[in-house]
């Protein structure tokens, strides 16, 4: 299997390569709290699921 070369990699203690994925949240409140604690002043909340779906998957995108 190959890995995607456009993503950053990090090593665990076992020397396995893992892809660093962006953090996602299920509620807007938790996403805003995460942005405030990590001192991200300008950000946009992006819903990764479709608008028809009742569940949300929100990602914080710095501008």
Q: Report if pTM > 0.75.
A: no
pLDDT band at 57 (very low <50, low <70, confident <90, very high): very high
- Rg of the chain taking only CA atoms, in angstroms: 15
- pLDDT tens for 22-48 read 889 999 999 999 999 999 999 999 999
3-state secondary structure of 34: helix
């Amino acid at each position: 299997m190959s890995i995607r070369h456009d993503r950053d990699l990090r090593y665990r203690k076992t020397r396995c390569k893992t892809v660093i994925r962006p953090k996602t949240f299920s509620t807007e409140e938790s996403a805003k709290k995460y942005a405030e604690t990590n001192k991200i002043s300008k950000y946009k909340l992006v819903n990764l699921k479709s608008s028809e779906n009742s569940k949300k998957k929100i990602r914080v995108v710095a501008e």
